[in-house]
Amino acid sequence: MRSFVFPEFQIIRDEEKCGQCRACERHCSFGVHTYDPVADRLVSDERKCAGCQRCAVFCPKGAIIVRPSPSYYRPNASWSREKIEDLKRQAETGGVLLTGCGSDKPFRIYWDHIVLNASQVTNPSIDPLREPMELRTFLGRKPDLMEIAAEDGDIEIKTELSPNLVVETPILFSAMSYGAISYNAFRSLATAACRSKTYFNTGEGGLPREMRDEFGRCAIVQVASGRFGIDAEYLNCAQAVEIKVGQGAKPGIGGHLPGEKVSASVAETRMIPPGTDAISPAPHHDIYSIEDLAMLISALKEATNYEKPISVKIAAVHNFAAIATGIVHAGADIIAIDGLRGGTGAAPKAIRDNVGIPTELAISSLDRRLRDEGIRNRCSIITAGGIRCSADVVKAIALGADAVYIGSAALIAMGCTLCQKCYTGKCNWGICTQDPRLSGRLNVDIASARLTNLISAWSHEIREMLGGMGINALESLRGNRDHLRGIGLYEWELDVLGIKGAGE
């Protein structure tokens, strides 16, 4: 059937500059550029272009511009171009629309409506270049009461403490599974996490055996509904175990890693035959209630000899805060909360763009709810979904999070351009692909250095912002909404966030 969808992108090649080196042809996995030997020039099939900018970045002559196509339907506020084209695609295929990355819809981004405080005259600001600044964070259950005994000047803690994760900066890499992303991308995250004294999250695709010794010390391993790649060694080599119940990009549904992405080594890691669809059912079929969840949490504590904190990751949806308190009572040591703009390797577009609530509102309601119930100490909150810069991290923590997970931001550091074509397995940046020709483009040393740089840059900025507020430990900012003010928000939004309007 002929497609009635016109190209999303326009490719402009400056023939003056182009030297016919054919780099663009080699770089584009979507097969956009081809060399026409008769005309001795390159031609582009714009219909196939994903707008990933690989060719534009790698053209040695800078001869290519890829930009959104200026063609347009008659403007119509109700029928946007995207709505028309999505509909056409479905009329042509009869399928569910898939997409990658977090939602790109213009839901209000609260980070951009919140401003931070700074010290002036009284309570002087602190200079992080000369004063120590504490970003170290402990993630996990804290005791209700701490009994201590002092003997000969030594302080001994009498209370039995729960295992905690220690991060030197409150930024962890979000769950991205080997299978969804390439081995090189996965390994780059692991390398950078270890180097930055933080953690990466394996996602639900297992942890390759040869990585367990080296990277287990900075791994959080996931147990999801598909239960891929799980054995006792996997659970025990890591520092924490996360039960994935939901994901911000697709709350309430499972996932299918298409058979094409299940290469021999992905299959080995997930422990399923190569080429089969790796299906994660929507619920865990052994969890239909909080009691069932409590059972899986306890089973995982047993399986890891009570040595690791257990995290439960849920998507932020309407009544999630009440559910989250149930999760804390069920024994979770960490709650990871993933908001509306959380990323994904593949999700039905209808779900990604319509289900869930923004992270910012979620953190605040969760923190408040746990405080109201007097159980905030029993779990840490890691928040995910739409963290783009260090200021977002600071705001998240002031709203009540203990730490943040970054996914998209980490991918962008490695080269991702948010082209949303991850589900095709043809990522030109070598990130979301299992094609060795493409994944080979991502050099682990370089990508991990880029990630390490990102973490160190953000950590430094966080110290600067803290210092500016006259705070020398992140701990003092946690849930400290007094340092936040809202701009351009409705009353109800300020209420949910628990912050005052600017100037108040």
Partner 1 sequence: MARAVTSEPGIFGARQYYQNVEIPSIDARGLETRELNDQLRELMLSGGKRVQITNVCGQRYIGTRLYTPEHLEMEIEIFGTPGNDLAAFLYGHHKITVHGNAQDGVGNTMDDGEVVIDGRAGDVLGFSMRGGEIYVREGCGYRTALHMKEYDGKRPVLVVGGTSQDFLGEYMAGGIVIILDMEVQSHKANFIGTGMHGGVIYLRGDVDQSQVGDQVEISPVDEADRTVLDDYVSRFLERFPEVEKRKYEILNSQFVKLAPRSKRPYSDLYAY
Q: Is 419 annotated as a binding residue?
A: no
173 binds, among ligand SF4, partner 1, none (CB under 5 to 8 A by kind): none
Shortest distance, CB of residue 287 to partner 1, whole angstroms? 10
157 binds, among ligand SF4, partner 1, none (CB under 5 to 8 A by kind): none
By CB under 8 A, tell whether 227 contacts partner 1.
yes
418 CB-contact burial (10 Å; exposed 0-12 / middle 13-18 / buried 19+) = middle
By CB under 6 A, tell whether 417 contacts ligand SF4.
yes
Site string for partner 1, 423-462 (x = CB under 8 A): xx--------------------------------------
Shortest distance, CB of residue 235 to partner 1, whole angstroms? 7
272 binds, among ligand SF4, partner 1, none (CB under 5 to 8 A by kind): partner 1
359 binds, among ligand SF4, partner 1, none (CB under 5 to 8 A by kind): none
Site string for ligand SF4, 424-463 (x = CB under 6 A): ---xxx-xx-------------------------------
By CB under 8 A, tell whether 31 contacts partner 1.
no
* d(C-alpha 422, C-alpha 345), whole Å: 5
Sole binder of ligand SF4 in the list 13, 23, 42, 50 (CB under 6 A): 50
Smallest Cα–Cα separation from 92: which of 1, 227, 195, 154?
Answer: 1
Residue with tokens 């946007």: 80
* d(C-alpha 478, C-alpha 461), whole Å: 17
> Closer to ligand SF4 at the Cβ: 69 or 236?
69
Q: Is 422 annotated as a binding residue?
A: no
- Binding to partner 1 (CB under 8 A) within 79-118 occurs at 89-90, 92-98
What is the bridge-based pairing of β-strands 41-44 and 137-139? Answer: unpaired
* d(C-alpha 222, C-alpha 308), whole Å: 13
By CB under 6 A, tell whether 317 contacts ligand SF4.
no
Smallest Cα–Cα separation from 205: which of 288, 118, 280, 304?
Answer: 280
Distances (CA, A) of 151 to 88, 154, 155, 368: 76, 5, 6, 38
Sole binder of ligand SF4 in the list 13, 53, 270, 363 (CB under 6 A): 53
Give the interface size with ligand SF4 as a residue count (CB under 6 A): 28
Vertex 192 angle, CA 187 and 195, to 5°: 125
DSSP state of 485: E
Distances (CA, A) of 143 to 28, 82, 157, 163: 54, 51, 11, 11
312: Cα separation from own chain's centroid:
15
Stretch that binds ligand SF4, among 25-33, 284-292, 396-404, 457-465 (CB under 6 A): 25-33
Q: How many CB atoms lie within 10 A of CB 314?
A: 23
Distances (CA, A) of 415 to 96, 305, 350, 443, 446: 28, 39, 27, 11, 11
Give residues in contact with partner 1 (CB under 8 A). Answer: 89-90, 92-98, 223, 225-228, 230-233, 235-236, 256, 258-259, 267-268, 270-273, 275-277, 279, 281, 285-286, 295, 298-300, 302-303, 305, 423-424
Give residues in contact with ligand SF4 (CB under 6 A). Answer: 11, 27-28, 30, 32, 49-55, 66, 100-101, 411, 416-422, 427-429, 431-432
Q: Which residues are annotated as a binding site for [4Fe-4S] cluster?
A: 18, 21, 24, 28, 49, 52, 55, 59
